[in-house]
Amino acid sequence: MWQTDFTYIKIIGWAWYYLSTLLDDYSRYIIHWKLCDSMEANDVKRTVETAIKKAKLKSKAKPKLLSDNGPCYSAKDLKIFLENDMKMKQFTGHPPLIWTFTCQLF
């Protein structure tokens, strides 16, 4: 299972940026990260595509993707993109273990 989320980064006097990360739930390693200027479904798609290539996954060995219910993760475009390759599980609330990887980034 892979976890995904965005972290907000504000560069004072410039703009907001968003760090998209994919974390392997078992090893706790970051599979891939991408600094984006938006938080849209296309940003998630690009992050997932690159992570799959980097991990050299076979078509049947793709992990499930765990995310929160943010708009980019609930978008129809992303669900269509993932339905053939990966299954996505979304959670509600704030389970403490799911958010530990975000804290490990800093």
Give the Cα separation of 38 and 13 in Å (integer): 17
pTM score, whole prediction: 0.75
Give the Cα separation of 60 and 67 in Å (integer): 21
Give the Cα separation of 75 and 28 in Å (integer): 26
Place of tokens 């392997």: 24
pLDDT per residue as tens digits for the range 42-90: 999 999 889 888 888 776 677 888 888 888 888 888 888 888 667 666 6
Give the Cα separation of 28 and 79 in Å (integer): 25
CB atoms within 10 A of CB 93: 7
Give the Cα separation of 5 and 65 in Å (integer): 10
pLDDT per residue as tens digits for the range 16-41: 999 999 999 889 999 999 999 999 99
Domain 2-104 matching CATH 3.20.20.220: the answer reads no
